[in-house]
Amino acid sequence: MSAWFISFADKTGSRGVTVVRATDPASALRMVNAARINPGGEALIVRIPPNVEAAMAGWNMRLVPPAEARRFDREHPNLVKANEDVIPETYCVCRGCNEAQMISCVHRQ
Ligand SMILES: [Zn+2]
């Protein structure tokens, strides 16, 4: 099991983010769909380390609005900076496939 941070966005900006515990990115997105919290748009799915997951406590399986996510970034500058220094394991599902729930589109960035 890993923790996955999922960010949903379209051309106009963020549609929100969430955190899911799952074995792989496709399972993580399936769980988001089953919980009916997928806001559509392109999905970026990033494996996050335990310290980041701990800081995001309360985001699990909840669609966090963009303003709340931006506030988190402002309030945790050191955490954001530290994670920019590691090469993230990131996956992407394009907007069309995400909105059609075509999980097979999940691919490594
Ligand atoms: Zn696709």
Give the range of the structural domain holding residue 103, as residue numbers without chain letter: 2-108
Per-residue pLDDT at 82 exceeds 90: no
pLDDT digits (tens, 9 = 90+) for 1-50: 999 999 999 999 999 999 999 999 999 999 999 999 999 999 999 999 99
The rounded mean pLDDT for the chain is 93
- Cα of 95 from ligand 1 centre, angstroms: 7
Alpha carbons 47 and 8: distance in angstroms, whole number: 15
- Cα of 105 from ligand 1 centre, angstroms: 5
- Cα of 17 from ligand 1 centre, angstroms: 19
Alpha carbons 20 and 27: distance in angstroms, whole number: 9
- Report the domain count for the chain: 1
pLDDT band at 88 (very low <50, low <70, confident <90, very high): confident
Q: What is the pLDDT of residue 81?
A: 73
Please state the pTM of the whole predicted model: 0.93
User: CA gyration radius for the chain?
Assistant: 13
- Cα of 37 from ligand 1 centre, angstroms: 19
Per-residue pLDDT at 78 exceeds 90: no
- Cα of 27 from ligand 1 centre, angstroms: 16
pLDDT band at 109 (very low <50, low <70, confident <90, very high): confident
